Amino acid sequence: MSRPVMLITGASAGIGAATARLASPDYDLALNYRSDRDGAAAAARLAEAEGARCVLCPGDVSRAEDRAVIYDALEHAFGRIDVLVNNAGIVDQSAKLTDMTEDRLTRMFNINVIGAMLMAKEAVIRMQAQGDGGAIINISSAAARLGSGNQYVDYAASKAAIDTFTKGLSDEVAADNIRVTSVRPGIIDTAIHAKGGEPDRADRLAPMVPMRRKGTAEEVAEAILWLASQKASYVTGTTLDVTGGR
Ligand code: NAP
C-alpha cells in the first residue's frame, strides 16, 4: 500500500529534520533544504531506515524557479501531495527597528511569509486537483503573540502574518477537506538561535518559560504530526502553541 506523501520545507535541520524522522513510519517524504545537503541527506537516510521513500528537493522557498524545482521533484517521485509542513524559516540578528534595513525586512518577509504562502498555493492547487483533501501545517512562532520587541520585530511580524494566513486560507479550502493549521513553537533547542547570532539564546531564556526549560524539536514535531493526522480530522483554521506555557 502506498503511503501518504508529506513535503517538509527546511528538512535539513531542527524542527523539519525531527518531523521527517518521526513521520517516517507513516509517510513517504519530500525533503526540502536550501543549503545543507548533508543535513537533508542524513534526514533521508534515517527516514528510509524506517521504510519511508524519500526524495530530496533542493531550493530556496522564496525563489519562484526553486519552488518549481521542489514541486517537480515531488511530482516526479510521488505524483501527489497529502501534507505540506511549511517549516522553512529564518531569524536575523537581534536589533531594534531603528537599526533594521529595508533589505533585511524584504529578505525576512520573502522567506517567512511570501515563500510560505506560495509553497502553500502550489500544495492547494495539487490537493484540489487530487480531490481527496489534505493538510497544511504552517510553522509560526510564539513571537507572533509576543512581538519580540528589542529582539526582532520583523521576525515576529512575519510569523503573525503566517497565523492570519492560516485562518484565511483554511476558510478558502475547508470545503475541499484541506485542513490548514499553524504550530507556534516557543524556545526550542535548534541551531536557529546560533544562526541569529546568539547560540546560547535558548538556555538564556529557558528560566523565563513557565515549564522552566527549552523545548525539543521532537516535541514540536509531535504536534505537527498530530495536526497532519486523521486524529485531527475536525481541526482547521487554528494555531497550536508548543511553548511550555510561554
Ligand atoms: P533551523 O534549525 O535553523 O532550520 C531551518 C531550516 O529551514 C533549515 O533546514 C534551512 O535549510 C531551512 N531554510 C531556511 N531558509 C530557507 C529557504 N529560504 N528555503 C528553504 N529552506 C530554508 O530552524 P528551526 O528552529 O528548526 O526552525 C524551523 C521553523 O520553526 C522556522 O520557521 C522557525 O521560524 C520556527 N520556529 C523555531 C523556533 C525555535 O526556537 N527553534 C521557535 C519558533 C518558531 P538549510 O540549512 O539547508 O539552508
**Which domains does the chain possess?**
5-240 (3.40.50.720)
Q: Residue 9: CB within 6 Å of ligand 1?
A: yes
Catalytic residue check, 27: no
Nearest CA to ligand 1 atom 6: 10
Pocket mutation for ligand 1, best pick of 12, 61, 165, 192 (most atoms within 8 Å of C-beta): 192
pLDDT over 80 (residue 101): yes
CB 189 within 8 A of CB 242: no
Tell me the pLDDT band of 130, cut-offs 50, 70 and 90: very high
Q: Out of 27, 33, 71, 155, which one is annotated catalytic?
A: 155
pLDDT over 90 (residue 64): yes
Find the mean pLDDT for residues 109-130: 98
| DSSP result, 127-186 | HHHHTS-EEEEEE--THHHH--TTT-HHHHHHHHHHHHHHHHHHHHHGGGTEEEEEEEE-
Select from 26, 33, 32 the least CA-distant residue to 7: 32
pLDDT of residue 2: 84
Average pLDDT, the chain: 98
Digit-coded pLDDT (tens) for 190-236 = 999 999 999 999 999 999 999 999 999 999 999 999 999 999 999 99
User: Counting atoms of ligand 1 from 1, which one is nearest the CA of 115?
Assistant: 18
Neighbouring C-alpha atoms within 13 Å toward the C-beta of 218: 2
Q: Residue 157: CB within 6 Å of ligand 1?
A: no
Digit-coded pLDDT (tens) for 131-155 = 999 999 999 999 999 999 999 999 9
Digit-coded pLDDT (tens) for 21-58 = 999 999 999 999 999 999 999 999 999 999 999 999 99
pLDDT of residue 1: 67
* Grid coordinates belonging to 159: 510569523
Nearest CA to ligand 1 atom 40: 188
Nearest CA to ligand 1 atom 37: 185
Q: Residue 239: CB within 6 Å of ligand 1?
A: no
CB 45 within 8 A of CB 33: no
